[in-house]
Structure 1
Amino acid sequence: MIQYQINMPISAEQFIDVLRRSTLGERRPIDDHECMEGMVSNSNLLVTAWDGGKLVGVARSMTDFHYACYLSDLAVDCDYQRQGIGRQLQILTQQQLGRHCKLILIAAPAANAYYGHLGYTNLPRCWVLDRDQGLQD
């Protein structure tokens, strides 16, 4: 039986491992330990799914808890997908937020169709600025 935890600390190694076992590891800097450690330690909302002592899912967010919650990473081990774990991670994330707070995310290309049936609205107005582009002095 899957157990869920709110803000239970995890290590960068555990985070990297679950990303590798999901499809999200392909789009994250999993070989940059410093970056991965910063991602884990600077998140302010972390919902995890566990099968015994094995981390099988994670929803990692940055939020003000009242208006906006950026769900930066939603990853479920491929062996555990299609069991409702990702949905439950999002439900538990949303339950931690105030009534006006919106979940905001950027969908992985392969997962883009997943979010519509959950009630998300697809908005074409997202912009991304990489560190090495633009805003130069």
Structure 2
Amino acid sequence: MEITYKFDVTPTSEQVIELYKNCGLPRPVDDPDRIKRIYQGSNLIVTAWHNHELAGVARCITDGAWSCYLADLAVTTTLKKSGIGKKLIELTQQHLGDEVMILLLSVPDAMEYYPKVGFKTVDNAFMMARKK
């Protein structure tokens, strides 16, 4: 199976929505304009492609010097457990370099995944939930 990874391609809202629906990532998939704005506001996007179809994405917001928020990590259901998610994280780390911390909020179903790929659980995080 050949997977191509790219930094220079932002997927369309339609491609993202199809991926998120497929893998069950809870995002506003009924609002293409909001998905478009989400991606426009992201400054590091790593994509995985299989047969010209979006197979995975790591979407980040970073200052490039101190911290990076890995906002979305999604892999199409048929290709889960194939190493795509881990590779997207590795490419993100390589792009950012050794000075930048990566942090994320996990969906409940992925809580066991992230420690397996190098993340550690932290107790010093806070959030203000969105209202919409």
Output one character per residue of 1:77-126: Cα deviation in whole Å (capped at 9) or x when no partner: 00000000000000001111132101100111010011112221101222
Over alpha carbons, which structure has the higher Rg? 1
> What is the count of residue pairs matched by the alignment?
131
More deviation, 2-11/121-130: 121-130
Compared CA separation, residues 131 and 77, structure 1 to 2 (3 A): closer
Compared CA separation, residues 131 and 105, structure 1 to 2 (3 A): closer
Question: Structure 1 stretches of 5 or more lacking a match?
Answer: 133-137
* Aligned equivalent of 1:21: 22
Separation in 1, partners of 2:122, 2:18: 31
SS in 1 for 2:111: helix
Shift in Å at residue 130 of structure 1?
Answer: 2.8
Separation in 1, partners of 2:60, 2:130: 20
When normalised by structure 2's length, the TM-score is 0.93
Output one character per residue of 1:37-86: Cα deviation in whole Å (capped at 9) or x when no partner: 10111110000000121001000000011110100000000000000000
SS in 2 for 1:35: helix
Separation in 1, partners of 2:116, 2:81: 14
SS in 2 for 1:55: strand
Question: Structure 2 stretches of 5 or more lacking a match?
Answer: none
Q: Contact conserved, 1:15 with 1:40, CA < 8 A, in 2?
A: no
When normalised by structure 1's length, the TM-score is 0.90
